[in-house]
Structure 1
Amino acid sequence: MPYVKGNPRYIRDLYFVLRMTAGVVEYRMKLHKFDIKDWDKLVAWVVLVQQWPYRVSWIVLHAEDLELKAAVKKREKLSSCVEQAPDDYMDKKLHAIFKSAQEKQTELEKKGEETWKRLNSLDGDTELLELFLQEFDFTVQDMFDLLPVTTNMDTSIKRAINSALSQQA
């Protein structure tokens, strides 16, 4: 609860998102397409996405980049008939992903473009996010497991980040 904004309207909205997400999880469990071992982690994930949509979008983009790089490495290893190592990026902590993504984010925001300032204003306190990520100890695997049942992820933020990144390149 210390990570949740105190606004009653926000808490009510968060409650409805949690109910909707739980419904999606239960439905997918009936279809045997999802298995949840830790409901507290699901609740924490919903709060994380709701409270820090901009920075979570950065984390997701960064983790997806790691996944693509791992796929390329895997393909290279397969083509060269070298024994392949397990995908170690899946055990990486989201806090480490956040720190890495934050460096790139800060670098781009220093350039002062209005898009970054507008997107940055969507989030809560960054220090609280760091504490949250350390306390709940999410991994990339947890994130990829929970993304299919995430009902409150605003994909337009990811598109805006990608668009702004492509304009800067």
Structure 2
Amino acid sequence: MDFESADVLNQAIRLLCLRHRARAAELLAPLGLYPGQEALLLELARTGPMIQAQLSEALGCEPPSVTLMSRKLETIGHIRRTPAPSDKRASIVELTDQGKALVDQVKELWRGLADETAAGLPARTVAELPHVLGAMTDNVDTRRSSRRFSEKRS
């Protein structure tokens, strides 16, 4: 790929990421959430309680980031952390009733953001985007931990 094409592609990806995150922040703020926290809540809603290290892997985040998010979400009552029975150094993270109620609002917000982001695109393109973006994520993921995108492509 020549530089001009590479520059156009990289700038488009960069701008989409920046603007999507900014729009997500704008939409999450009335719920008292910051970008990233909604992903943690949605993951717990999908999987149920899990060890914080597993949550870190599932989210593709570094453990300290998940620890910080977990502390904040616990402080405001959306999650509960308890010591794992098998390893007292590990914490099991789960949604509280308050967190479960918030997940429904987050899902609605997330649907709206997806609709807004993909507005005007043909349905077929929208259906292909998770696969294309997942492949691109896999290409740049040095940890190769984004298998969930690959698995969904199968």
Shared fold per TM-score greater than 0.5: no
User: Quick one: higher RCO (CA 8 Å, sep 6+), 1 or 2?
Assistant: 1
TM-score (norm 2): 0.27
Higher strand proportion (structure 1 or 2):
2
TM-score (norm 1): 0.25
Higher helix proportion (structure 1 or 2):
1
